[in-house]
Structures are given as C-alpha cells and as structure tokens.
Structure 1
Amino acid sequence: MKLIKSYFYITFFTLFSLAVFSQVKNIGLPDVRNYMRNEYKGGTQNWNIDQDKNGNLYFANNNGLLQFDGASWRKYTLPNSTSVRCLKIDDSGKIFVGGYNEFGYFEPNEKGRLIYTSLAKKIDKQKIKIIDFIWKIHSYHNEIIFQSFARTYILKNGKLTILKAPKRFQFSFLVNDKLYFQDIEKGILEYKNGKLHPLPNTTSLNQTEIWGMYSIGKSKTLIITLDKGLFIYENNSLKPWNTEANSYVKKNNSLGGVMIKNNFIVLNSVLDGIIICDINGKIIQHINRKKGLQNNTVLTSFIDNKNNLWLGLDNGIAFLNESSPFTYFGFSYDISTVYASVIYEGNLYVATNRGVFYHAWNSSFKEDVFKLVEGTTAQSWNVQVVENELICSNNSGALSIKGGKVNNIIDSKGYFGFKRIPNHPNHFIGSNYDGFAIFLKTANGLVYKNQLAGFDKSSNSFELDDSYLWLKKDESIYRMQISNDLTRFISIKKINQLSPKFKNTGSIQKIDNNIYFQTNNHFFKYSNEQDLFYEVKKISNLFKNIPTIKALKEDSQSNLWYAYDESLGVLMKQKNNEYKNVVAPFSNLTGNLVNNYLSVNTIDSKNIFIGLTDGLAHYDSEILNNFVTKPKAFIRSFSFPGDTIVLGNNQSKIEEIDVPYSSNQVRFTFSSPTYENLENVEFSYQLEPFDENWSNWSTISLKEYTNLREGDYKMNVKVRNSYGIQSEPSTINFSVSPPWYRHFIAFMLYFILIIAAIYFISNRIKMKIRKNKYYETIEQRRLYLEKESKIRQEQYELEKEIEKLKNDKLQIKILAKDKELVNNSLQVVKKNKTLNGIIKKLKEIDTNILDDTTKSEFGKLHKSIVKEVNTDKSWKDLEKHIKNVHFDFLKRLKEKYPTVSPRELDLSTYLLMNMSTKEIAEIMNISTGGVELARYRLRKKLGLNKKENLIGFLMSI
C-alpha cells in the first residue's frame, strides 16, 4: 500500500508565519493551558522539550519519553526504566535521549513504532562502571554530544568516544554554533576539534551553576546562573546584567530559559514561574501560579515551530499561546464580566458586574491588579467620556468619576448610557430604568435636568438623529419625537417591521454618523420626507456572506464590529475605503462574549479591548498575519486486530498495508500539531468508497470501521483549527484481502468444480434420462398390468355380484319354495288333523251294529286312514330341509348368541322366512300368544330394544 499524502507537507501560510518577526505583548496575559500528569500519564517533572519535523512534541519526563501530537499522548521508557533528563532530535529524525546510566536514541521501525537503541552498551563497563545522569545532548558538527557530570560521550559515524571533564562538568550550551561546557574548576570551556579551551575571566562563576547561555546582539552572550543572577560576557569580560530581569532571577533563582526569535528572553525560575523580557532586560510578561500556571517551578522552556511557549514544570506541563494576537485580563487581575471599557486621563477603566475598575494605562500590566473605583460597587452597564467627564452608568445611578472614586452622583436612577442630543448644544440624553432623562453639561460637569414624560420603557439600544429618538425594545422599534423644550415625547410610534418582506428588527447602529436599522443582515435607513424605510444595498452587500448578526458597532477607526451566534467578527476598513472581513481570530472568544452587550473599545490598531464574561481581552490586529496559519492533518495510526501502524514518526517508508479479511475491523486515530485552543480543533474524514460524503466536523480524533468487504480503500482526513481554517486532506491507502472462499484461487477452483459438476451432472442427466425411459417402460407395463388386473378384478367382482344376485335370487326362490313347502306342510297338517278327526269320529261309531261286510269295510277304511296319517313324514322332512337350507345362518346365530335354545333357533328360522305369527303358531303347535312370548324372549337374548326390528336384525346376521 502506498502512503499518498506526504507527512512533511507544510503550507505557504505556515512558512510565512515563521518568517515574520515575532512579537510578545506587554499587555495582559497569553492563554495558558496546563497539562496535568493524569492527562499525559507520566511523572511529575519534565526536564527537556523538543519538536520533530511533523510538529510532534517530546518531553523528557521522570517516567520516560513523552510524545504529544495534539490529540494523544504516548510514553516510551528506557530499558532500565530510569527518568529521561534530556533529549535532542537531529536532522535525520532520531530522538536522542539520556537518563541515569543510559543514553541512546529512538527511531521508527517499518511500522512507525519508536524503537529504542542503547548507546550505553558500547561503553566498556570494566573501565566506566557508572555513567551517571546525562544532562545535556547537542547536535554539533555531525556529532551527537551526550554530557554527564564526569565526562562527555561523543557519537560520530557510529563510533563512541569519551571526553573527560577537567574536574567536573556542570552543564553545556550551544550558542551561535559554538559549544560551551562549564567546569567547576576551569570555568567556561569552548569545545573545538575534540578539545576544550577555557574562556578568559569565567572562573568567577565556578561557585554557581550556569543554566543557560544565549547570544544577544552581535558580540554579547547572556549567562544565566542558578542563584547569582544574570551576566553579560563580551570581549573576554564578564559583568552583571543589572536589569529588571536580573533582580527577578536573584530573587527567585533561575533554571535557564529560551530565546524567542532573538528578540525576547524567557527566564525560568524556581520560585515564581517565568518572566519574558526584551534584550534590554525589561520585563514584558510575568506568568506564575497566580496567573495561570499550575506550578511555580519551571525546569525547562521551549519555543515551538509557531513561536508558542512550552514549559516543563516540576509538576506538569504548560502551554502559553504567545503567538496569538490576544492576551487576557481575567481573575488574576481581579476583574469579572466586562460591559464597557474606556481610556481616561492615563487610566484604563472597565465597567463590570461588580463595579468600575481601573489600571494605569502607561505603566506595566505585568503585576498590578485592577483597582475598584470607590462608590461604584454595583452592576455597571457602561463607562464613557462625556465632554471630558468620565460617567459611569450604574445600577445605583449616573455617577461622575474623578481620581479613582465617585466624584458626584448625578442621578440616583439606574442608567444604561448617554448620548449627545443633535441641535441642542451641551445637552445629553440618558437611558435609565424609567425611560429617558435630559442632562446639561455645565462648567461643574454633567447636571441632571429632567425626566422625559410620556414613555417609561428602558433599553441600552437607542440612537438619535435630528428629528427622532430611535429605541430598539425586544424586536420592535419605537420612533419618538422630543418636544423642543426637552420635557416630553410629543409622538411615539411602534414599528414592528421595516418592510413587508422582513419582520422584526435585529439592531440599531450608527455608521458614518447615519442611523441604520438592521434585520436579517439587510440595512435600512428612514426617509423622513416619504415616511418609509428603504434598504441601503451598499451596506447590505457588506454582510451578504456573513451569518445573521445580532449587534453592530462602529469603532473609532471606522471598523464595523458585529456579533453573531455568540461569536465576533469585524469588517476592517482599508485605506481604499473597502472592508476586509476578519473572523478567524475571534473564534476563540465564542461563547465568552457578553450577551446583548457588544463591548469593543478600539484605541488604535494595536490596542483593541473586547469585553468578555470572564474578563477583558486585548487584541492586536497587526499580529493577525503572523497568527492565522493553515493547519496540517495527520492520520496518526492505523490499526486492525493483530497489527498497528503508527504514521507521522518521520519513518522514511511505509510498508504496503494489506489487511486480512479475518481482521477487517480497522481503527484510525487523527492528530494535528495545532496546539492553540485544542478543545476547538475538529476533524472530518471520509473512507472511499465506503463513505459517500465527508463526515460532520467533530472533536473526536478516532474512527473505527467494522466488517469491511474486500477491496481497495482510501482514508482521507482533514482538520479545522479553532479559527475555522481547514487543512489539506491527509490520505492513506490500504486493501482488505478477500476471505479464502472469495479469493482468486478459490474462484479458479470454483470454476473447475463448476465445469466438473456440469460434466458430472450432464452424464447423470443422460443416465437419468435412459433410466427414466426404462422405468417409464416398466411403469407403463405396470400400469397396463394394473389396468388389466383391475379389469379382471372388476370382472371378477361383477361375476361375484352376478353370482350374489343369482344366490340372492335363488335364496329368494328357496325362501319362496320353503314358504310354499311350509304351506303345503301346513295343508298336510290340516289334512292329518282332519283325518285324525275322522279317525276319532270313526272310533265313536259302534261297529257292532254293522254287518260283517260293512264292518270289514269299515275296518279297512279305518286302517287305511291310520296308515295314511302314520306314514306321512312331510313335516319331519320339512324341518330337516329347513335346517339344512339355513344351516349357516343358524350356525352364525348360535356362535354369536350361545344362549339361544333350539326352539328359539327354529323361531328365528321361521321369522327369517317372514312367516306370520299364526303360521308359526301352527307349525310350532303353540298359540299366537306363545309365539309373541317366544319372540320377546328371543329379542331379550339378542339384546334388542323395542325400537329395533327383529326380522331385520336376523337378516343382517
């Protein structure tokens, strides 16, 4: 993977800013940002500071080497876990460090991680058992100098040589490409060609420690000692530098310092923070714990590539925004919310929520706090000069101030401010809590005259022209005409909109002595002749591309200051009478402006005071070009499960980045070496082709993506600093490998498998077709046979049905025949009964009366009849026949109902033959009642209820 974006890209703006003459302001304090140890996760003391080409900062800390990229801190420890006392970054990007019995360097590996290489291992431990602390490191004429108390270790071309101290080294310093050592016996020594050469007349400093040496002027060298003060070495002569700075050092002891562009000197102290002085020793700034530092002991100081000051403290790290055009008067100057400010008789006065405070304007601001004007302790809305008289608009009234105290209470009502009344010399109008009052300027000062009658609303936003007093109250305008005798309002008109197109009014202001009414950045003037408002396009066009403003004020230099969304901007008037919109520097004041009170006091282009909720800001507009630079964005690290690649550590080559699909969860961290107002630095990113658009701006400096599909990706990131200026995008490319089942080789294998599968399936299909044809033939044969079998079965069933019908028909015939036979048998029975009757009758005849012939014939007849009766077996044959014919029925009945008697079986047979009760009675030789009783008993044995048909049941068996 190739790293598209170069991390050494520096814009024209940055180069320009570093080339411009540096400035340290003597009014107010710079913005101070403290870093505590729980933020950087290191030790308390920070001994040395340096910066690499990418803008990353490094700190020699008690717990190791700290790296800060503007977004995150990283810590690197030495092998023996000792504290790091010094560091130096050479032109190659190596970070040389020194600690106790250890020195070497860090440099990035192929993945950008800083890896430590020890140089102390090259020392023969038999000869030198204790290296002691390495206190200073210098890059000097292709040599890296590591200085301890007893000796100096010199690294050149990979070889290490040793230079012993004549007695004992204190510290060493690189000044104007010359390297100096302090020896406690020989004084200051200059290092030349591997040897030490004493400087004349420097042994007088042997009883103190030198902590800094700097070149001031062409031939002067400033020497900073721990407890003896400051000295100038010039023409081989050493003398004290009797200045303000020297007095400070003698009082508080010094631990060195740093030069700011060869024009200012930062002096660290043990007891009282730092001072910044000019090359004449005049103190410009004094910053200590009371003024924002978290610790008063400053071990080291460093000027970064934007001329901002970093301090290594005995407990923590501090950043001072010295290159900013802003300095501040805050809690350390004993002032709070500022509503107005003014210069009067050599003093700077500020109106605050606690009263009016003042400070001498021409004297130094570095120490003194603002003093309270006696008698003003209350909410003060305004302080202004009215006809050479200082007037305070206070909650307690209109107050005249003189000599640091209230000279006169002009009126006891609460006031917002005063304005001159046109066409009425020496007359002024004041806006108070009950409306408006008239004041007259006299030889004894401003005098209250009368309250204007007819209107009792109050506001701090009002203007006057030749005809009317214009008041903005809420979102409406009041046009009020004052009587000629200045006693009352003779007309009052409330105006809710300036034109049908725009409702409400945003602000009233005077520009070039003309009153303008603003709504939604459109500016109107009033025509008295036509009694209407008309838009002034020239002024409106100035605000065409500006967010909707809430307030506008023209300063003494004709610049137009405007407030919008709790932010501030200004249209700076140029020499050609055009305006230049300046917004970026004021973004740091966003949220700190006093709501509804735009307080801007322009003394000149270098001295502009802006009221804030927590003090007063001083703005020097001439520093603007030096200050606003284009930031740089870095993709600081790229990580995924199993690996992390660190970028921006001066590595010469970035390996190609190929992420396995199993690790397709990637994480990016961003940074920007923009250390001013870090809480307002924002990032935006876009992962191509995953993200269609850039993300919203956010202060979050990391982004994670999960479950990325395989492919080539391009990560873009840009940064926007607190002044709204965007960087060029920084870019890194990487690839996510496909999973094994979506790899090219896998697709080739899939192709082969598909071809093989097609061939196999084709053969299988052909075999299947053949097999299907065979089975189709078999199936057709089976269907044919089944059909044939079905036909045969149907034929058989039909035959059986026919047979059954025949049997049923035969059975019916049999039953009919049986019935007929029974009937015949019954006739026979009747005949036999008749014959038996005849026989009985014959027996009753007396044969004795008959002759022999007749008697003989009578006997033959009797015998013949008896024989006929005795020889008639038709009934027995009938019974036998019936039992044979209905054998199956009788068998089934007996099996199902074993309790049925033979007599009941006969009854069942007769009932089956559908014989009547009478016929059955005759056959069974019982009465009809006996038949009914027999039927009842049979039903009971068969388990039939009354509703069930007995004959039908018997037929179903």
Structure 2
Amino acid sequence: MKLIKLYTFILCLITGISLSHAQINAVGIPSIKNFSKSDYRGGTQNWDIDQDINGNVYFANQNGLLQFDGLTWRVYRIPNSLDVRAVKVDNNSGRIFVGGYNEFGYFESGLNGQLVYTSLMHLITDSNHNLSDFIWKIHVYNDEVVFQSFMSAYIYKNNKINVLKAPNRFQFSFVVNDALYFQDIKDGILEYKKGFLHPLKESTFFNNSEIWGMFSIPQNKILIATLEKGLFIYQDEKITPWNTEANSFIKQNGSLGGAVLKNNALLINSVLNGLIICDLKGKITQHLDIKKGLQNNTVLKSYVDDKNDIWLGLDNGITFVNQNSPFTFFNASYNLSTVYASAVYDNYLYAATNQGVFYHELNKSFLDNNFSLVNGITAQSWNIQVIGNELVCANNNGAYIIKGNSVVKKLDNQGYFAFKETPSNPNFVIGANYGGFSLFEKTKTGLEYKGPIEGFTNSTNFFEIDETFLWLIRDQHLYKLKLDINNKKFTSIETIVQLRPSKSAINSLQKINNTVYFESQNHFYTYSKEKNVFNEAPWLSNLFSKCPPINYVKEDSHGNLWYRSGESLGAHLKDDHGNFKHSQTIFSNLNGYLVSNYLSINTYNQNNIFIGTTNGLARFDSKFNSSFKDKPKVYIRSFSYAQDTIIHGNPKDKKREYIMPYAQNNVKFTFSAPEFENSQNLTFAYQLYPFDKNWSNWSNTYIKEYTNLREGNYIMKIKVRNSFGKESDVYSLNFTVKPPWYRHYLAYVAYILLLAFIIYLVSVMVKMRYRKREYYKTIEQRKIYLEKESKIRKEQYLLEKEIEKLNRDKLQTKLRAKDKELVTNSLQVAKKNKILNNIIQKLKTMEIESVNENTKVQFNALKKNIAKEIKADNSWKDLEKHIKNVHFDFLKRLKEKHADITPRELDLSTYLLINMSTKEISEVMNISNKGVELARYRLRKKLGLKRKENLTGYLMSV
C-alpha cells in the first residue's frame, strides 16, 4: 500500500511539473470575447489590425476604419471607398494610415480631437498612372510609408509620392527583421532597399503560391506561411518545408498569415479551422475555433497587442482572446457544465457536475480532447474527494467509488453531499446524506458502509468534525452533536444561536489547519470544551478584517485560504516564505459564475488551481507573470459642452485651451480605458476640482455630467482600476468657465466706477439734502414761528373777539336792560298818559258849571296842560326808534328771509325777541291781549312754523 502511495505521488508530481511548465494556454482555453457587426456597427470582414500608443485598437473593416477604446466603438469613413483593407499606425507622427479601393491617406487628430481624414491621392504626379486596385498592405518603414497594391507600391516621404511599379504583379508584402519584402508572382520574393527591389535567391519557388505571412524565428530563419502549400523555412538562401504538427494542420486548413507572441510562440491563421498557437518547434499548444468559442473559422488577420493579448479579424466579426491571463477555462466545449467539485486522482482530473462525473487524463493533451463521462454514474454529483487511496463521489443517487473511467463500487443508495474523516479515529468516515449522517469504515478491501447514525435526520452539506463533536450549520443555527463511543448514535444535540452576545449571525464553519473555526461577521472563533465558550482567534480575524463580508472559507492543500463573499471569490495566498497575500480583484472575472452555496477549489499545484463555476472548470495559475501588473491607462474620451464635443485619447491630440461662456456651463465627460481584459469590471473614480472636495467612489459608470457650474478654472481628474486592482495614473483636463457679463472683471470695474459715481452722487445728494434740510429747517422754523405768531395773533384776535363779544354781550345786556328800562319807562309813560287821559275824562265829566269862572278857567287850563303833556310825550316813538336801531340786523335778516312780513309784524317780532309779555305788547301796540294773540298766530303762519315749534326760539335763531 505504501509503495502504491509513493508511486501515485511521484506520478502526480511529474505530471504537475509538466503542467506548470506548459504554455499558458496549453491547459484549457483562454477567455474569448466576440464582437459582432451589430456591436461595432460595421461590415462583417476585418482585414487588418493595429494599435496606437494610447492603446486604441484599429480595424480595417469592410465598411470603414473601426476604432475601439475598450468601451466604445467608432466608425470612420474614407471618401471614394467604403471598404478599408489596410491600416497602420505611425506612433511618431500620430497618423493612422489607411488604404482602400483607389484611395489611401491618413487620419489624424483635428482641432476638436476627432480623427480627420487626409487623402494622399493628389500627390501621385504620374499622369499615366491609374490606380484601380485595393491597398492591401501599409508599412511604416524607416522614414517612409509604403502603400502596397497588386500593381504598385506608393512610397510616401516628405509629402511626396513615388510610385514603385511591380515587375509583374505584387502579391503581399512583409517587414521581417527590419527588412521589407514583396512577393512578385514571377520574380519571387523581392527585398526593398533605397527605392529598388532585389530578389532573394531561390524564392521563385513560391511563384505558384500566395504568401500570407513571413515571421522571424531564431537562428536567422524566416518562417513563410502560404495559402495552400503549408509552412516553409527560408535560411541561408535555401527553402525547406517546416515539417511540424503546425504544418500538417495548415496544409489541411490553409493559412492566412499570423503573428508572433512575445513568449516565443506563433499564431497562425487558418482559412477553414480557426487559429492555432504553436511553439517555435511547431508543436500546437492551443487551437481556437468555433467549438472553442470563435464566431467564425476564417481568420483574416491576427494581431498581438501591447498586453500580449490576441485580436482576430474574422471573415465575420472580431474576436478578443485574453491570452495574457492567469485564467483558462474548461467549458461546454469540453463537455463540462456546472462544476460542484474537482479532484486529481491516479493521473486523472475529475469534475463533479450536475450531469455526473467527468474525467480527463492528465498525461494527454487538452488541445482537442474533451472530458468524458465516468461510466456508471450520472445525475447530480455534489462532491468528489480522495479518501485514503480511493476516489469517493457524493451523488444524488448514492455514494460511489470511482477508479479510472468507471464506477467500481456503490457504497449506499442514499443521496450524499460530502464525506469527512473523524480525527479521533481516521479509519472512520462520516458522510452527510439526504436523511442525516452515515458511518463508513476504511478496511483492507476499501471503504465500507456501516449504517446510518441515529439521532439526527436533517440534511446539510456544511459540517465539520473535531475530536469530540460534529458541528453543522443549518438555517444560520449552529448544532453541536456528540457521538457515542462507537459512532453509532448522537448522544446529545445542542442548538447554538449566537457565538457571543454581540455576534448574532453564524455565517460559516470551516476547518483550517485541523482546527474547526466558527465565523460571524468576519470574526473567527474556536470552541473551548473545558469552559464551554467560544474564544476569538485574533490571527484569523485580523487576516479577514479588511475583507468584504464572507460566506465561507476553505483551506486548500497548499495552505491557501479561499473565501466567498456574495458572488465574488477572494483568497489569501501563501508566498514562498509562508506569508499570506490577499487577492480578490484578480478573480473579478469569475463574479456571478460561482456555484451557489458551494466553493470548489482544487489546488493541484500553484500553477494549476481548479475552480468550479456554473460554466465549467476555471484554471488559475497563481505564478503567472502577466502584464496585469502594469498600470492601466485612462483617458477622458470626450468632453462636451453646448454643441461642441472634444475627443481625447486619439494619437497626438492637439492641445488647446477650453474656455466656455457662462451660458454653456453644463459639461459632460465620457471616460475610456484601453483595458480589454475583463473590461466589464473596470471601475472609474473622478474628481472635478475644486467643485468636488473628494474623489468619487469607484463605479462602472464612464459618463459624468455637471450642470450650472460657476465661473472659474476647473480640473477634471480621472483614474481607473482594472480587474486586477491596479490603479492608473491620474489623467486630467483643464477648462475654464467664463463668468457671465455681470460677473466679468470688466463688469466689476464698471461696478467699482458705478459705485464710486453712486458714492459721489450720494455725497452730492446728501449735501444737497443737508442743505435742503437746513433750508427747510429754516423754513420750518420760520413756519413754526409764523404759525406761533399767527396762533398768537389768532389767539389775540380770538381774545379780542371774545372781548368784543363780551363787550357786545355786555352791551347787548345793557341794551336789553335799557330796552327793558325803556319799555318799562314807556309803559309807565303810557300808564301816566292813560292816567292823565282818565283824569281828563273825569275832569270832563265833572260838573264845572257849579264852580266859579275862575275855577272853571283853572280846570280848562289844567285840561289843556294835561292834554298838551300827553300830546308832547314822544316816548312811544322814541321806543319804536330805539328798538329798530338796536335790532336792525335782526329785522334785516328776518325781512330777507320772509319778504312778505309787514312792519307791524316786524314790530311784534322785535317785542317777542326782547321777551316782552303779551300784556306789555298789548299796551305798547295799543291793542288788546286777544289782538296780540291773533297777531302772534298770524306771524307764526307767515313764518311757516309748525304747531309745536316755538316762535320766540325761532326768532332768536334768525
């Protein structure tokens, strides 16, 4: 048994060494990405390929010149010819030379950065020359540019064209070892030197064949590829067939040229069967065709870019082959589907898939040999692993032992997930099946099924075994199961919800360096049986502290720690000194292709690590020395504002200042990075300084817009990070937004002048206002003075009026008193006169006859004196005159108001005004009291007074 183990180890070691020293793509196929005509919006055929110093790739397409910057395609047309057959980039001048039918010239960057075409046809001065053919090849040779058609070659130098006519008819031309060769259909291969053609000896051998490729190989040999006759070596003026595996392939499938890889390998295009890669001894190490992922088997052109990756111009489409990568793949072209596990056993590579277990012999070429299905096992296979000296498969239909290409034993009919050896007794193996767990034992005749383990019937594929317990995770709960001494029954089952009070979710359990670890939120714990607690493992927690949230960790056979985070894969890989180095972004091209809830890692050696995916088996070479270590390049591909779009990233961009008016302060940027490997995983970060204070987060967005920028100087900075985590240098673009007219510096000068003028005007106005205020203040003071004076005068006037009124009232009072007195006197006089009249009447009635004459005389004299006294008394007239004089105004107003009033009524109104009584009025007016009442009634009627209106009051209001 020990001899068998030793033999197997030596055989695997030898095989591993052979695999590790094979060409990178000898095991599996590289990643292939196809571009159809709908992707690049051109024609189907692509005849030529080249790359500029910025990394942009150009294709001579049936519908024009194609340019690809890694993210976007652009199509450029040339006049007079839709079909472009040749393209060549001159990195010194920045010109992209192209040739089509009856047309050749160059593209170069215009003022706005876009490619502008310039035709060179007008430089042909030979009037007898008529170009009526395609330009098939373009060479930048020394200080000349050579455009080759079948009939002539056109030498462009110093802005002149010299025509080099073919001796008979050219086929194609090639630059090899700094020499330019033409094939003539009769004169053989001709070397171009200083404007003349010199034939190579013995090269007329190729007169009846078309040469499509000439390559330099060691020992001063030139490899010549013909269309139908195969491959030949030209050395020391001798031509010999290159009798190799590659030549046999080309003889069967024809050749359309090829290219040289930087790792001493050759690419040879075929007409019928895709592309082959061979070493310098002609051994085919890789064959790519439709079955392996190409979209067309006719390869018109192959080109090796600056990253040593391959571009193929096909008869229908364009293909990118990620040759310079640590990854190759065994996919559906190798008969593999979803791979859940893989193993190397007895010189076979096995893969457990959803269709069964497939195998491939390690000592046989992977070139065109597919994986084969193991006989006797089909359906879903969850795991395949080496236990002891046997290969055990956990399948949906049971547990199987596999040997070579077939099943040799079926251990149990129950469906199984995986198997684990018990550390306490390595002769026992526990298998997780659909109904719990079963026990197996290693015997001399091999692994034997011992029966189910009682006490637990739930299924799981996540379990580990230590010296004492079987641990498993189900529904984010951790179960601790203890077996009896015979491993026949679980004696105790404990459910653990959390490892620590602060750690709720239990994400995974895994065995690392023979110790079971429990993980929660990237913190790892071990179980202490003595204290029945979970203690954190600092070294492992620190190792994963900067990783994204992980779902599972797996240790491979070399001590590398692989982990899964969501749909992403990462690893801590050990270097030669045993130190861990974290890698995650390098596996980004596997994102989304990992098998759900499974992490299949099979490290055969550091050069051959097999990873299970939904698309088959991925092979990873951790020692691969690739250009992915170089910094990627990044460009601001376009800069748009208003109606202008500035293109960047083309060769020899014209430098200019970007100054835009304020009305066009909305800008748009697009980014590009000529990183063609895993371009979907490129992430960009940008910062518009000083608008953005910090860099943006990394994202796949390659378009950014800014709106309503303020005036000022701006710097747009951009960087890219490729799928391997490498960051580019910062690419920047400066531009200026002019201020609006009202914030222009001239406007500010105008504002200052206007402000000064306003200040001056304000000062003048202030002075004027001060003067005006002082003037008005004086006027106001004068007004106040005059008002005061007027007020005083008014008050004085009012006082005088008041005095006058008082005097008038006093006078009126006096007048009334006088009137009263006069009336009284008049009444007394009237009364006296009445008395005197009564006396006269009495004297008349007295008998004077009886008196003496003397007495009679005295009586008569007395009567005469009394009558004379009465007649001489004018008191009534004086009273009437006095009343009219005193109450003249009243009588005037009353007369004006009542024009029909009589004098007698005026007298009555006056008597009533001075408040004379009826009796007094009757006496004055010499009428009876009833006469006074009647006069009063008539007066009221004439005055138009109502019954309730007071007559005296009315008269006083007149």
TM normalised by structure 2 equals 0.83
Map of 1:457 onto structure 2: 458
Kept in 2: contact 1:507–1:519 (CA 8 A): yes
Fraction of identical pairs, as percent: 57
Map of 1:630 onto structure 2: 631
Looking at structure 2, the residues matched to 194 and 372 of structure 1 have their Cα atoms a distance apart, in angstroms, of: 63
Mapping 1:556-571, distance limit 5 Å: 556-571=557-572
The one-letter code of the counterpart of 2:720 is: V
Between 889-898 and 385-394, report the one with greater CA deviation: 889-898
Map of 2:26 onto structure 1: 26
Looking at structure 2, the residues matched to 615 and 933 of structure 1 have their Cα atoms a distance apart, in angstroms, of: 141
Map of 2:54 onto structure 1: 54
The one-letter code of the counterpart of 2:721 is: R
Looking at structure 1, the residues matched to 551 and 60 of structure 2 have their Cα atoms a distance apart, in angstroms, of: 49
Secondary structure of the equivalent of 1:54?
coil
Kept in 1: contact 2:505–2:521 (CA 8 A): no
* 1:433 is the counterpart of 2:434: yes
Secondary structure of the equivalent of 1:622?
coil
Secondary structure of the equivalent of 1:134?
coil
Kept in 2: contact 1:102–1:131 (CA 8 A): no
Kept in 2: contact 1:635–1:670 (CA 8 A): yes
**1:304 positional shift:** 0.9
The one-letter code of the counterpart of 1:481 is: K
Shift in CA distance, 73/626, structure 1 to aligned 2, threshold 3 Å: closer
* 1:422 is the counterpart of 2:423: yes
**1:395 positional shift:** 3.7
Map of 1:788 onto structure 2: 789
**1:161 positional shift:** 1.3
Secondary structure of the equivalent of 2:460?
coil
Shift in CA distance, 815/510, structure 1 to aligned 2, threshold 3 Å: same
Shift in CA distance, 522/775, structure 1 to aligned 2, threshold 3 Å: closer
Looking at structure 1, the residues matched to 448 and 938 of structure 2 have their Cα atoms a distance apart, in angstroms, of: 150
Looking at structure 1, the residues matched to 833 and 331 of structure 2 have their Cα atoms a distance apart, in angstroms, of: 157
Looking at structure 2, the residues matched to 949 and 348 of structure 1 have their Cα atoms a distance apart, in angstroms, of: 144
Shift in CA distance, 895/60, structure 1 to aligned 2, threshold 3 Å: farther
Kept in 1: contact 2:325–2:626 (CA 8 A): no
Secondary structure of the equivalent of 1:53?
coil
Mapping 1:696-707, distance limit 5 Å: 696-707=697-708
Looking at structure 2, the residues matched to 921 and 401 of structure 1 have their Cα atoms a distance apart, in angstroms, of: 167
Looking at structure 2, the residues matched to 373 and 674 of structure 1 have their Cα atoms a distance apart, in angstroms, of: 41
**1:764 positional shift:** 6.9
Map of 2:555 onto structure 1: 554
Kept in 1: contact 2:124–2:162 (CA 8 A): no
Shift in CA distance, 376/776, structure 1 to aligned 2, threshold 3 Å: same
Kept in 2: contact 1:113–1:645 (CA 8 A): yes
Secondary structure of the equivalent of 1:311?
strand
**1:765 positional shift:** 6.1
Mapping 1:91-102, distance limit 5 Å: 91-92=91-92, 93-102=94-103
Shift in CA distance, 530/782, structure 1 to aligned 2, threshold 3 Å: closer
Secondary structure of the equivalent of 1:715?
strand
The one-letter code of the counterpart of 1:549 is: I
Map of 2:517 onto structure 1: 516
The one-letter code of the counterpart of 2:260 is: M
**1:153 positional shift:** 0.6
Secondary structure of the equivalent of 1:623?
coil
Looking at structure 1, the residues matched to 591 and 400 of structure 2 have their Cα atoms a distance apart, in angstroms, of: 32
Looking at structure 1, the residues matched to 391 and 906 of structure 2 have their Cα atoms a distance apart, in angstroms, of: 149
Map of 1:589 onto structure 2: 590
Map of 2:478 onto structure 1: 477
Kept in 2: contact 1:111–1:654 (CA 8 A): no
Mapping 1:718-867, distance limit 5 Å: 718-736=719-737, 777=778, 780-811=781-812, 813-814=814-815
Q: Deviations over 1:653-674 (max 9, x none)?
A: 7345555556555544433222
Q: Deviations over 1:729-769 (max 9, x none)?
A: 23344555556666666666766776677677667766776
Looking at structure 1, the residues matched to 902 and 414 of structure 2 have their Cα atoms a distance apart, in angstroms, of: 139
Shift in CA distance, 342/245, structure 1 to aligned 2, threshold 3 Å: same
List gaps (5 residues or longer) in structure 2.
1-20
Shift in CA distance, 535/929, structure 1 to aligned 2, threshold 3 Å: same
Count of matched residue positions in the alignment of Structure 1 and Structure 2: 933
Looking at structure 1, the residues matched to 473 and 555 of structure 2 have their Cα atoms a distance apart, in angstroms, of: 17
Mapping 1:51-450, distance limit 5 Å: 51-80=51-80, 82-92=82-92, 93-108=94-109, 112-124=113-125, 126-203=127-204, 205-234=206-235, 236-238=237-239, 241=242, 245-246=246-247, 248-249=249-250, 252-261=253-262, 263-367=264-368, 370-371=371-372, 378-401=379-402, 410-424=411-425, 426-441=427-442, 446-450=447-451
**1:532 positional shift:** 4.0
The one-letter code of the counterpart of 1:613 is: T
Shift in CA distance, 883/550, structure 1 to aligned 2, threshold 3 Å: farther
Shift in CA distance, 817/740, structure 1 to aligned 2, threshold 3 Å: same
**1:104 positional shift:** 2.0
Shift in CA distance, 766/471, structure 1 to aligned 2, threshold 3 Å: closer
**1:145 positional shift:** 1.0
Between 500-509 and 821-830, report the one with greater CA deviation: 821-830
Shift in CA distance, 396/952, structure 1 to aligned 2, threshold 3 Å: farther
* 1:604 is the counterpart of 2:601: no
**1:418 positional shift:** 0.8
Q: Deviations over 1:668-725 (max 9, x none)?
A: 4433222222222122222333332222223333444455555544433222112222
List gaps (5 residues or longer) in structure 1.
1-20
Looking at structure 2, the residues matched to 326 and 666 of structure 1 have their Cα atoms a distance apart, in angstroms, of: 40
Map of 2:671 onto structure 1: 670
Secondary structure of the equivalent of 2:136?
strand
Kept in 1: contact 2:310–2:320 (CA 8 A): yes
Kept in 2: contact 1:24–1:264 (CA 8 A): no
Looking at structure 2, the residues matched to 411 and 911 of structure 1 have their Cα atoms a distance apart, in angstroms, of: 152
Map of 2:6 onto structure 1: none
Looking at structure 2, the residues matched to 481 and 82 of structure 1 have their Cα atoms a distance apart, in angstroms, of: 79
**1:907 positional shift:** 8.4
**1:489 positional shift:** 0.8
Looking at structure 2, the residues matched to 104 and 495 of structure 1 have their Cα atoms a distance apart, in angstroms, of: 76
Kept in 2: contact 1:847–1:855 (CA 8 A): no
**1:576 positional shift:** 2.9
Kept in 2: contact 1:103–1:134 (CA 8 A): yes
Looking at structure 2, the residues matched to 431 and 714 of structure 1 have their Cα atoms a distance apart, in angstroms, of: 61
Secondary structure of the equivalent of 2:632?
coil
* 1:542 is the counterpart of 2:543: yes
Higher RCO, Cα 8 Å, sep 6+: 1
The one-letter code of the counterpart of 2:30 is: P
Q: Deviations over 1:392-451 (max 9, x none)?
A: 323444345567666665434432211122344543211123321112345776443322
Kept in 1: contact 2:905–2:935 (CA 8 A): no
Secondary structure of the equivalent of 1:621?
coil
Between 332-341 and 131-140, report the one with greater CA deviation: 332-341
Mapping 1:487-526, distance limit 5 Å: 487-499=488-500, 502-526=503-527
Secondary structure of the equivalent of 1:597?
coil
Kept in 1: contact 2:309–2:321 (CA 8 A): yes
**1:529 positional shift:** 4.3
Looking at structure 2, the residues matched to 728 and 739 of structure 1 have their Cα atoms a distance apart, in angstroms, of: 35
**1:274 positional shift:** 3.1
Secondary structure of the equivalent of 1:27?
coil
Shift in CA distance, 891/502, structure 1 to aligned 2, threshold 3 Å: same
Kept in 1: contact 2:276–2:287 (CA 8 A): yes
Shift in CA distance, 892/524, structure 1 to aligned 2, threshold 3 Å: same
Map of 1:15 onto structure 2: none
Shift in CA distance, 800/586, structure 1 to aligned 2, threshold 3 Å: same
Q: Deviations over 1:449-497 (max 9, x none)?
A: 3222222333222112232212233444322221122221112233344
